[in-house]
Amino acid sequence: MKVLNSTIVAAAASVVMTVGISAPASATECGTDDEITIAEMTWLSASTLARVTEKILADGYGCNASVVPGDTVPTATSMLTKSEPDIAPEMWVSTAQSIWDQMMEKGNVYKAGDIFSKGGEEGWWIPDYVAEEHPEIKSITDLKDNAKVFADMSNPDMGRLYGCPPGWGCEIITNNLFDALDLGETFELFSPGSGENLKASIARQVARKKPIVGYYWGPTAVIGKYNLVRLDMPEYDAAKFKCLTDKDCEDPQVTGWAVGEVAVAAVSDLKEKAPNVAEFLSKMQVPNDEISAVLAWGDENSASPEEVAEYFLKNNEDVWTAWVPDDVAEKVKASL
């Protein structure tokens, strides 16, 4: 009888423990029933990454995920003041530096990781066929002695360097770097007038297999579509670069371009209520060359962000499956 009573007590205790302590969430569960909002910025790479994030969270983890309209400064401001949206997969920190600093100080938003493996890349680029035909042109410091390679028929004695579109921050940097390299002796600094004109100029020259050198940034569809190669630059020097950003820089010096910090930004609450989501975000990173190629496909096919996201998921499994557990990856694949 004593043994029976002991057995009953043990069984009862087991029931109490089972009821009182919930089992830990699976590593492949969302962890929260709350809606998780994802900022969809206005340019293709950011909107594509937002749709990729939504697809993985909804179909892989079973989250109540949705995209919301966004742009760098408005989204950063909203995340700072309202802690929403929950995720911004492509937050260009340098564009909203002061707001970002406030978020870091407040602690309601954190940096889950760097979305691009090489960071945001700015600089001067040439097509791959020019790099192959002229192996002597590897760096921005090689331009001065090879100006005639980039001569325009309107001024055959001078090379043409396509500058940054007027009004953009990179215009001041490009102008100062042009002076620092003493390129005015052999090059003309040509203003494209606008971002669309710069893109059109590159497209026109590449279609004719003609040389072109000029400012651009990546990852973008233009880099991937036209196989542009970034010219090497000297090592980045913070003090010299700061002067390059000043339109009144008295003595511009040659330095490498600062690598753009592009963060996967998320509200800090996610780490507590949805740790599996936070774990996924910490691994979310794309190689610059691969995302540029994906964006080029989207540009060539006039594809929507949803279509570009699906193309990425179908054709770049080696990249995104490393972000999630195997069964999450299988669920996402099955949903495509």
Q: Look up the CATH number of the domain holding residue 188.
A: 3.40.190.100
- What is the rounded distance in angstroms from the CA atom of residue 281 to the CA atom of residue 236? 29
Assess whether 318 and 232 both reside in one domain: no
Evaluated on CA atoms 3, 7, 8, 9, the torsion sign reads: positive
* Domain-ending residue, one of 213, 244, 275: 244
Q: C-alpha distances in angstroms, 156 versus 149, 159, 205, 284?
A: 10, 7, 16, 48
pLDDT at 5 over 60: no
User: Average pLDDT in the 51-68 region?
Assistant: 98
End-to-end CA distance of the chain: 61
Cα 181 from chain centre: 29
Q: What is the CATH number of the domain that holds 32?
A: 3.40.190.10
Q: Say yes or no to pLDDT of 205 above 80.
A: yes
**Per-residue pLDDT, 264:** 98
Q: What is the mean pLDDT of residues 37-58?
A: 96
Residue 76 lies in a domain: yes
pLDDT band per the 50, 70, 90 thresholds, residue 25: low
Average pLDDT over residues 102-129: 97
Measure the CA–CA gap between 207 and 269, rounded to whole angstroms: 50
Q: Is 18's pLDDT higher than 90?
A: no
> Which pLDDT band holds residue 215 (cuts at 50, 70, 90)?
very high
CA–CA separation, 241 and 221 (whole Å): 27
For residue 127, pLDDT beyond 80: yes
| Prior bond of 85 cis (ω within 30°) | yes
Domain contains 170: yes
In a domain, residue 287? The reply is yes
Mean pLDDT of 71-89: 96
Tell me, yes or no, whether 249 lies in a domain.
no
Domain stops at, among 196, 220, 244:
244
Residue 9 pLDDT more than 50?
A: no
Q: What is the mean pLDDT of the chain?
A: 91
Share of the chain above pLDDT 70, in %: 92
Is residue 16 a part of any domain in this protein?
A: no
Q: Please check whether residue 61 lies inside any domain of the structure.
A: yes
Tally of structural domains, the chain? 2
The DSSP code for 255 is -
Residue 131 domain boundaries = 121-244
58 three-state secondary structure: helix
pTM: predicted TM-score of the whole model, two decimal places: 0.81
Does the residue 305 lie in any domain? yes
